[in-house]
Structure 1
Amino acid sequence: MTDAKFTIVRLTLEGDKFELLVKPDPALEYKLGKRSDISSILVSDEVYSDANKGSRASTEKMMKHFRTADSMEVAKQIMARGELNLTTDQRRKMVEEKRKQIVNYIHQSFVDPKTHMPHPVMRIEAAMEQARVSIDPHKRAEDQAKDVVDALRSILPLKSETVKLIVKVPPQFAGQSYSVIKTAGDMRGEEWMSDGSLRVVIEMNAGMRGTFIDRLGSVTRGSAEVKEG
């Protein structure tokens, strides 16, 4: 556990500041997706414009930016989009966690163009150390991976690996699944069947395959069929 009893999450939108007082370790777990109950991480259920001064955010500004004045709903949006003020120990842990995610993403998504095989994890880690890559603990691993790959290319030959998937979704989930499929990669063909089910051929980065299948499974309650084309 950290020694601090609370820390602050900050989000600034069009010059308007929004802050939450949160418990450091539970808030970090929430940020990392290891905790889902927003109320369990809050020191106070107030939304502040300046937490140190105790100044509360106005209802008008919350409505303007979040379209709700419900403090719990606003808190969820601030946690999703805001920046958690990390302790030194938390920052180190979060950077290490993010580093592992980036290494894994590169390992799954890129191959050695000579062998068409993925580079070993230890080789990728060594190349990142050699290139002195800096990791942002707040940015998603996938969003940072492109810059990391660019930095590694002079040290490690990397070729992007793509995968083509054939996806079939039952009629009751076809509508809400469409946006998940469309944003996952390049759609190479779609067919709406007579019974209302959806069949799509999609090409995506190989590293996104697992995340895509998890998201689609969540929307379709595991009823979608996915196979390589």
Structure 2
Amino acid sequence: MVRVEDAIVARLESHGYKFEILVDPDAIERIRKGNIDIENDLAMPEVYKDARKGEKASEESLKEAFKTTDIAQIVVDIVKKGQIQLTTEQRREMYDERRKQIVNIIAREGINPQTNTPHTPYRISQAMEEAKVKIDPFKSAEEQVQGVLKAIMPIIPIRFEKAKLAVKLVGDAYGKLYGELAKSGYITKEEWGKDGSWMGILEVPAGIQGDIIESLSRRGGDKVQIRVIK
């Protein structure tokens, strides 16, 4: 359960009533998607008309405004439709974290089509500054990536692209590296050779194909063979 001092107030005014909950700021995005853990996401499992004074909302007002007294459904409605009261520090932390997530996605997925090499996170961050990109701390990074791309493309050439790697693992390299392969991208095809080796096609974000090849080669040595499929 989030501590009261770490919780934020989510407020919704409806049907002439004011409803407030004390909620974990880190749970906001998840709750908006309808995934809620009442025990851990709320400082107190209550709906208030004034959280600061500890005045609870009446059952009658909840039924009138939400057509239910189910606290889980009510919390989701308040978070989706209401206002989130963040402190300045909380808002800055959420903003910085969301911005970092967006930069990392673009650095992983994107390449410079002029050089076929990835942009550094620093260059992407600079382009976002130049384009005066606005980040919504309450929306997921994935939801905002396309809008950010559209804003920075006039500043830096960038294109999202996938790379395909043909990988062959010999001997004990399969046991050592298959888990890393599966986490690095999407295995689109795999088969076993007559010599007992494993062969597969791995689809990965183009921006990190070099890092993946380096990591697999370092760990597998001469028991791993990798080539980029054009």
- Class of the TM-score when normalised by the shorter of the 2 chains: 0.5 to 0.7
Kindly indicate whether the alpha-carbon contact (under 8 Å) linking 2:29 and 2:138 is maintained by their aligned counterparts in 1. Answer: no
Residue 90 of structure 1 and its aligned partner are, at CA, apart by 0.9
2:25 to 10, 24, 28: 28
Q: Kindly provide the amino acid, as one letter, of the partner of residue 60 in structure 1.
A: E
Q: Note closer, same or farther for the CA distance 1:100–1:59 as it changes in structure 2 (3 Å cut).
A: same
Q: Note closer, same or farther for the CA distance 1:44–1:121 as it changes in structure 2 (3 Å cut).
A: same
1:62 to 59, 66, 91: 66
Once the two structures are superposed, the pairs formed by residues 55-204 of structure 1 within 5 Å of their partners are: 56=57, 57-63=61-67, 68-79=68-79, 82-161=82-161
Residue 144 of structure 1 and its aligned partner are, at CA, apart by 1.8
TM normalised by structure 1 equals 0.54
Kindly indicate whether the alpha-carbon contact (under 8 Å) linking 2:110 and 2:161 is maintained by their aligned counterparts in 1. Answer: yes
Q: Kindly provide the amino acid, as one letter, of the partner of residue 107 in structure 1.
A: A
The secondary structure found in structure 2 opposite 1:156 is coil
Residue 82 of structure 1 and its aligned partner are, at CA, apart by 4.9
* Structure 2 Cα separation of the partners of residues 30 and 69 of structure 1: 21
* Structure 2 Cα separation of the partners of residues 127 and 31 of structure 1: 28
* Structure 2 Cα separation of the partners of residues 58 and 122 of structure 1: 48
Q: Kindly provide the amino acid, as one letter, of the partner of residue 58 in structure 1.
A: L
Establish whether residue 42 from structure 1 lines up as the match of residue 39 from structure 2: no
* Structure 2 Cα separation of the partners of residues 138 and 119 of structure 1: 26
Kindly indicate whether the alpha-carbon contact (under 8 Å) linking 2:15 and 2:64 is maintained by their aligned counterparts in 1. Answer: no
Residue 49 of structure 1 and its aligned partner are, at CA, apart by 5.6
* Structure 2 Cα separation of the partners of residues 5 and 102 of structure 1: 25
Residue 83 of structure 1 and its aligned partner are, at CA, apart by 4.4
My pick for the range that moved more, 137-146 or 8-17, is 8-17
1:8-55 deviation digits (Å, cap 9, x = unpaired): 113467998643133xxxx1232366xx74323434323246656846
* Structure 2 Cα separation of the partners of residues 78 and 29 of structure 1: 16
Kindly indicate whether the alpha-carbon contact (under 8 Å) linking 2:38 and 2:45 is maintained by their aligned counterparts in 1. Answer: no
Residue 6 of structure 1 and its aligned partner are, at CA, apart by 5.1
Q: Kindly provide the amino acid, as one letter, of the partner of residue 119 in structure 2.
A: H
Q: Note closer, same or farther for the CA distance 1:134–1:14 as it changes in structure 2 (3 Å cut).
A: farther
* Structure 1 Cα separation of the partners of residues 136 and 46 of structure 2: 28
Q: Which has the higher contact order (CA 8 A, sep 6+)?
A: 2
Establish whether residue 7 from structure 1 lines up as the match of residue 11 from structure 2: no
TM normalised by structure 2 equals 0.54
Identity %: 39
Q: Kindly provide the amino acid, as one letter, of the partner of residue 100 in structure 1.
A: K
* Structure 2 Cα separation of the partners of residues 48 and 94 of structure 1: 25
Unaligned runs of at least 5 residues, structure 2: 31-35, 165-203, 207-230
